[in-house]
Structure 1
Amino acid sequence: MKKIIFFACLFICSHVISAQSEGLTASPYSMYGLGILNQANVGKYNALGHGGIAMPGNTGINNMNPASYASIYEKSFLFDVGFQSEYNHFANKINDESKWSFNFSNLALAFSLSKRSGIGVTLIPYTNVGYTLLGVTTNIEGSDETFESTINGTGGLNDLQINYGYMLSDKIRLGASASYLFGSIEENEFFYVGSSYFNMDETSFYQGVRLGLGFQYDILKKFTLGGTVKLPVTLDASMDRSVIKTLDGVSVTVEDEEDQSITGFKLPTEIGIGVYFSPFRGLSVNADYKRNFWSSTNQTDNIGRYEDQDIFSFGAEYMKNARSLDYIDRVQFRGGFTADNGYLSINNRKVGGYAITAGLGLPLNTNTHSMLNLSYSYGQKGQLTNVLVKENYHFITLNVSLEDLWFIRRKIE
């Protein structure tokens, strides 16, 4: 089991990083900033409204709060690998379009260090870029003529995060995290004017380290309060740029620059608070609120400005009986909802969205908490009245969440 997990980590890790160049989304909103913020998470939380700040991490990795790692059972090793598929449908006042995308979504592992502490590492896409603009009209300088170009964007940033949690007392857990954000965004533009051909490639590289803190407090036996904060950071940035034009079949390099220094991108302070409680046996409920202080970064985009973002999420999970011999009684049924008012304001209107989530947790064996987690989300971004694009999407995730017990002597070899 341990060897399988180790080699799976090496194999999938390389694919998760390289997958960014292939595009994990087809959303037109990924052309702004660093792209669409990734909504997929580890394990079961995709089905719980993408929330879980106050939820423990004893039976599955909770990457949303480093304090949860303190609750990992002693001698327990957790592993999670995820896959995602997204179907996007875009519409404006003229036409509509649909696209599919599929790829890896995460790789994570965690284990206990002692009775009171745990640690874990996750690799997950932080932002996703994948857009195509057809027929972009531009005036030819010095004349009344125009030309139409095609613009493609791919890539995104990855988040390699280390989380550590410590149990200060039987009721209070504290945690700290460090994220290394890295990746590149490539944009290609090409067009024809008569017999001439123009091609421009720009690849922007970003990297930086971001720190975070978290806590969880068991106010009552079945009621937990949690909180997180992520500190602001400015990502270092550079660009490679290549411009080639072809006249009468002869290619000419107009520009070829590497490692140009460009303005870094600022990520804001993010705070979150959540509750987790069990009103009766078998049912658990989580509710989160997060605020991202984008306005403090004083950044603007080509068509809008960044403003503070509010995110609400709610989720519920029901399992009839964890110890039942009947398989269906051990299946976990999940549902949730999330909504945010967006962080990009265009013509004084913010681009917000919402999503409805549902899912199942299918046990893989009776001796551990290994689970096959399935989730489905239906959501919407934008409106026809602000940026003239309304996006509806269907989002499916599959997470294989495994648990192994280490340093346990087997009675039968």
Structure 2
Amino acid sequence: MMMKMNKIILLAAFTLFFQFSMKAQSEGLTSSPYSLYGLGIINQTSIGRSNAMGYTGIGLKTETEINNLNPSNFALIPQNSFFYDIGVVGEFNSYSNTGNNESKTTLNFSNLAFAFRITNRLGAGVSMVPYSDVGYTLLGLVSNIEGSNETFESNVTGLGGLNDLSFNIGYGLSDAFRVGVKASLLFGKIEENETFSISDSYFALNEITNYSGFRFGLGMQYDITDKITVGSTVQLPVSLSGSLTRSVNKTLDGEEINVEDEETDDVSGFKLPLEVGFGMSTRILESFTLSADYKKNFWDNTNQSENIGTYADQDIYAFGLEYLKNPRGFKYWERMRFRAGFNYDNGYLALNDTKIDGYTLTAGIGLPMGRASNSILNLSYAYGSKGQVQNILVKENFHTLTLNFSLEDLWFKERRIN
């Protein structure tokens, strides 16, 4: 019965996920004003337990669910097990600057992933998560009319983002040492609309930029002891190709004039940097698991800049803690997982020589869905802050709630009849 229910959930999730992915291009997965720059807000939300443990996972050894932060961990998928993870995320954002306050709420799917074992020590998996999110609205931007002292106000909106479709393979060179390869297809579009009016004239500019490209990565994990695991990852730099479709329309004295039909042009590619990560996890007093990650993203080497800022090297520090009394305990509370974490990101974009840094506090609980199965319902909460009230910067506070169905099916098992 449980396996049949899991398959129904998976089928429904596949259908809804792709419907929401298409719909997200017109509604946005974020409302952060900082998504105005580059490809938008780079997503840190991960899969399953990682969301409540400070987004750690590079050195986190797990055999009971998907860990997509290190491809080498896929080597640990148990025989006859098929894992899949479906997530949904809701976010409440509040913003403040020197003169205004605002708040917004967004809701959408956060991930879809599955993993399976191919043969002894060899496992694979596929995941789809948002790589970046764009969703900003700028109202009442005042500009001067060239050649006069008059001004006009314009409104600008941006929506969209990129998706990360990843294929992972992990292989165990020994019982303690694992390596992995990750190949990602990054694709998506960012749409920007600008409108303004002067007297009886109305102007509308629509620009849609499509990005795509392949990215490759490597990972490894090594069990120093049965309680301590270390890991590392590398994401190779890549330049995403882009194409821009632009259309311009205006209305003059009530008569619509088509200024420019839709035109598609190639645009300069957006460069993603070399990314390296290191992590470790350790079991303490049998019931506690502590994990820690460090990531370095070399944005300086991309030599990219925005109109009012530049891209700078980024450091991310993350810590997570999980308490599990007994994974096969007879009492339900003994099988529940309690989690907490902390994440600090010193930022990758410097505006007026001030980097946009931020921190996130996480907490969560894992609710088992049966004593004989590894299926678990992961509920995570995060509170974070980004930026500051200074010059043109905005201070952003956010609350995020993530729900992940981390499910397991047992396949290809022979039935025994007495």
Structure 1 length normalisation: TM-score? 0.98
| Residue identity opposite 1:14 in structure 2 | F
User: How far apart, CA to CA, are the structure 2 residues paired with 1:412 and 1:16?
Assistant: 45
2:207 — aligned with what? 202
Structure 1 window deviating more from structure 2 (382-391 vs 156-165): it is 382-391
Report the equivalent of 1:20.
Answer: 24
2:372 is aligned, of 367, 386, 394, to 367
User: Structure 2 length as normaliser, TM-score?
Assistant: 0.96
The C-alpha deviation readout for 1:263-298, integer Å capped at 9, x for no partner, is 110000000000011022111010000000000000
* 1:260-279 alignment runs, 5 A limit: 260-279=265-284
Residue in 2 that maps onto 1:228:
233
* Structure 1 residue 322, shift from structure 2 partner: 1.6
Question: Hey, which bits of structure 1, 4+ residues long, moved more than 6 A?
Answer: none
The aligned residue for residue 119 of structure 2 is 114
Equivalent pair of 2:115/2:124 in contact (CA under 8 Å): yes
Give the equivalent residue in structure 2 for 1:392.
Answer: 397
Distance of 2:401 and 2:234 partners within structure 1: 28
Residue in 2 that maps onto 1:7:
11
**Aligned residue in 2 for 1:170:** 175
- Cα distance in 2 for partners of 1:300, 1:10 equals 38
The 8 Å contact of residues 114 and 127 in structure 2, kept in 1 or not, is answered as: yes
Aligned 8 A contact 2:54 2:320 in 1: yes
Among 313, 322, 327, the alignment partner of 1:317 is 322
1:183 maps to a residue whose letter is G
What's the counterpart of residue 129 of structure 1? 134
Counting only pairs closer than 5 Å after superposition, residues 11-410 of structure 1 correspond to structure 2 as 11-21=15-25, 22-385=27-390, 387-410=392-415
Contact 2:379–2:403, Cα closer than 8 Å, also in 1: yes
Pick closer, same or farther for the CA change 1:317–1:6 going to 2, 3 Å. closer
CA contact (8 A) 1:13 1:123 kept: no
Q: CA deviation at 1:325?
A: 1.3
Over the matched positions of the two proteins, sequence identity in percent amounts to 54
Aligned equivalents of 2:385, 2:238: Cα separation in 1: 29
Confirm or deny: 8 A CA contact 1:16 1:124 kept in the other structure.
no
Cα deviation digits, residues 314-337 of structure 1 (max 9, x gap) = 000001122221111111000000
Cα distance in 2 for residues equivalent to 1:239 and 1:404: 44
Q: Which amino acid letter does the alignment assign opposite residue 22 of structure 2?
A: S
Gaps of 5+ in 1: none
1:55 counterpart letter in structure 2: L
Q: CA deviation at 1:74?
A: 1.2
CA contact (8 A) 1:82 1:398 kept: yes
Q: Which range moves more in the overlay, 377-386 or 300-309?
A: 377-386
Checking the alignment, whether the CA contact within 8 Å between 2:358 and 2:387 is kept in structure 1 is yes
**Counterpart contact for 1:364–1:370, Cα < 8 Å:** yes
Q: For 1:74, what is the secondary structure of its paired residue?
A: coil
Task: Give the Cα separation in 1 of the matches to 2:121 and 2:17.
Answer: 29
Supply the distance in 2 between the matched residues of 1:386 and 1:139 (Cα, whole angstroms).
21
Question: Whole-Å Cα distance in 2 between the matches of residues 284 and 270 of structure 1?
Answer: 26
Look up the SS of the partner of 2:110 in the other structure: strand
**Match of 1:177, SS?**
strand
Q: Tell me the distance in 2 between the aligned counterparts of 1:20 and 1:176.
A: 29
The alpha carbon displacement at 1:143 in A equals 1.2
Once residues 255 and 183 of structure 2 are traced to their aligned partners in structure 1, the CA distance between those partners, rounded to angstroms, is 50
Cα distance in 2, alignment partners of residues 386 and 33 from structure 1: 20
> Is 1:16–1:106's contact at 8 Å kept on the other side of the alignment?
no
Report the 3-state secondary structure (helix = DSSP H, G, I; strand = E; otherwise coil) of the residue aligned with 1:366. Answer: coil
Secondary structure, in 3 states, of the residue corresponding to 1:276? strand
Q: Secondary structure at the match of 2:293?
A: strand
> How many residue pairs end up in the alignment?
413
Cα drift, residue 3 of structure 1: 4.6
Query: What is the alpha-carbon distance in structure 1 between the residues aligned to residue 19 and residue 187 of structure 2?
Result: 15
Aligned-pair Cα RMSD in Å: 1.4
Q: CA deviation at 1:95?
A: 1.3
- State the alpha-carbon separation in 2 of the partners of residues 116 and 287 from structure 1: 25
Q: Distance in 1 between matches of 2:210 and 2:311?
A: 21
- Unpaired segments of 5 or more residues in structure 2? none
Whether the 8 Å CA contact 1:5–1:79 is kept in 2: the answer is no
Preserved CA contact (<8 Å) 1:31 1:153: yes
In the TM superposition, residue 259 of structure 1 has moved relative to its aligned partner by 2.1
- Residue type matched to 1:268 in 2? P
- Amino acid in the other structure paired with 1:131: Y
Name the SS for the 1:88 alignment partner.
strand
Range 255-264 or range 244-253, more displaced: 255-264
Judge conservation of contact 1:317–1:332 (CA < 8 Å) in 2: yes
Q: 1:288 corresponds to which letter in structure 2?
A: D
Provide the rounded CA distance (Å) in 2 between the counterparts of 1:73 and 1:56.
13
